[in-house]
Amino acid sequence: MQLAREDLLTAYRTMALIRVFEERVQREMSSGDIPGSTHLYAGQEASAVGISMHLGDMDRVASTHRGHGHSIAKGCDVDGMMAEIFARSTGICHGKGGSMHIADLDKGMLGANGIVGGAAPIACGAALAARMTGSGAVAVAYSGDGGFNQGTMAESLNLARVWDLPVIFAIEDNGFAEATASSWAVAGDIVARGAAYGIPAERVDGTDVFAVHEAAGRAVARGRAGDGPTLLHIMVPRYLGHFSGDSDTYRTPDEKRAMRTDRDCLKVFRDKVLPAGLLEMDQLDAIDAEVAALVDGSVVAARAAPRPDPATVATDVYVSYP
């Protein structure tokens, strides 16, 4: 808990913002105004936030289908994201990408990804670029527990070790891949699987932003020092269904209730900083109000924003195409 006051406020603010954003998207989905489906990050906020507090715009992250939280933590514009999800021309991808393809290269956000396991090679490439240019930047490859089984993950672990790439494999284990439990689908042990490649690997409580922040700090330092990759196995709860329309019957109501009461990163944070007198209750309440207003505003703006011009349907396929 060696975080400065400013950092503490940022951590809480970002986690709260993600939470409100996701729960609002879930609500707006039922309005029918958002196309397709979304995979929401509610419950997992401390992971992206604890990691991203170490990162600047030069550092890059490659994300998953569940990418809103990673994007917000990496500094993507919330209005642009909401407008994108609402499929507006003011969206961060001008309405072409949607929830599963949020990206902002200037912020080092290399994209959410609709392909499970798709991100890790891309993050390795960003890390390679950092290494070759000597920029000192690192890259983060996010994956879920289910995605960790993909061959691309194993290949990326090997490549990252062989080339000593400054990449952090952030494996967010929310216990499920869709309706399938990681306890069944993931053979062996994720930390051991990382370590077997000679990669420093550790398990982290993903409801505790301080724990994530510390582990990520070691990983980022390793990367910046030229010591190569790290794997973090981050244990998180997934509050909502796999996707917005998931009836989520494979989890018992008790299980879902318990996770909200016992594994809430916002509560965990409050319980640490308030008794210790690091922050005041009303500061946090003010943040809650602020992010609620921010998200409200983003929805209002998105609804008011113009829809994409059908004439743009085939633009931006190439930089140039004679």
Partner 1 sequence: MPRKSFRQALNEGLRLEMRRDPRIFVMGEDVAGGKGASGEQDAWGGAFGVTKGLLAEFGPERVRDTPITESAFVGAAAGAAMAGMRPVVEIMFVDFMGVCFDQIFNQAAKFRYMFGGKAVTPMVLRATFGAGTGSASQHSQALYPLFTHIPGLKVVVPSTPYDAKGLLIEAIRDDDPVIFLEHKAMYDDVGDVPDGAYVVPFGEAAVLRDGGDVTIVAFGRMVGRAMEAAARLARDGIEATVVDPRTTSPLDIDTIIETLEETGRLVIVDEAYPRCGMAADIAGIIAEEAFGLLKAPIRKVTPPHAPVPYAPELEAAYIPSVERIEAAVRGVVGWSR
Ligand X SMILES: Cc1ncc(C[n+]2csc(CCOP(=O)(O)OP(=O)(O)O)c2C)c(N)n1
Interacting residue ranges for ligand X, rule: CB under 6 A: 39, 65-66, 114-117, 143-147, 174, 176-178, 238, 242
By a kind-dependent CB cut-off of 5 to 8 A, residue 184 interacts, out of ligand X, Mg ion, a second copy, none, with a second copy
For residues 250 and 294, which CB has a smaller minimum distance to partner 1 in the complex?
Answer: 250
Residue span 52-71 as binding mask against partner 1, x where in contact by CB under 8 A, dash where not: --------x-x---------
By a kind-dependent CB cut-off of 5 to 8 A, residue 178 interacts, out of Mg ion, partner 1, a second copy, none, with partner 1
| 145 is a site residue for Mg ion (CB under 5 A) | yes
Do residues 140 and 74 touch, judged by C-beta distance below 8 A? no
By a kind-dependent CB cut-off of 5 to 8 A, residue 66 interacts, out of Mg ion, ligand X, partner 1, none, with ligand X
The SS3 of residue 30 is: coil
Give the pair of three-digit tokens for residue 158: 């090997």
Partnered with residue 171 across adjacent β-strands are: 143, 233
Closest approach of Cβ 165 to a second copy, in Å?
11
Summarize as ranges the residues that interact with a second copy (CB under 8 A).
Answer: 149-155, 157-158, 161-162, 184-189, 192-193, 195-199
- Tokens 């309405």 sit at which residue? 95
Closest approach of Cβ 190 to Mg ion, in Å?
11
Cα–Cα distance, 35 to 29 (Å, whole number): 8
For residues 2 and 252, which CB has a smaller minimum distance to partner 1 in the complex?
Answer: 252
The SS3 of residue 233 is: strand
Give the sign of the dihedral formed by CA 10, CA 11, CA 12, CA 15: positive
The SS3 of residue 42 is: coil
Residue span 164-193 as binding mask against partner 1, x where in contact by CB under 8 A, dash where not: ------------xxxxxxxxxxx-------
Do residues 311 and 36 touch, judged by C-beta distance below 8 A? no
By a kind-dependent CB cut-off of 5 to 8 A, residue 185 interacts, out of a second copy, Mg ion, ligand X, none, with a second copy
Cα–Cα distance, 296 to 290 (Å, whole number): 10
Closest approach of Cβ 146 to Mg ion, in Å?
5
Give the pair of three-digit tokens for residue 224: 């910046």
Closest approach of Cβ 65 to ligand X, in Å?
5
Query: Amino acid identity, residue 90?
Result: T
Cα–Cα distance, 127 to 167 (Å, whole number): 6
By a kind-dependent CB cut-off of 5 to 8 A, residue 100 interacts, out of partner 1, a second copy, Mg ion, none, with partner 1
Do residues 174 and 237 touch, judged by C-beta distance below 8 A? yes
Give the pair of three-digit tokens for residue 278: 């690091």
Do residues 45 and 69 touch, judged by C-beta distance below 8 A? yes
For residues 240 and 299, which CB has a smaller minimum distance to ligand X in the complex?
Answer: 240
Closest approach of Cβ 150 to ligand X, in Å?
7
Query: Which parts of this chain interact with Mg ion (CB under 5 A)?
Result: 144-145, 174, 176-177
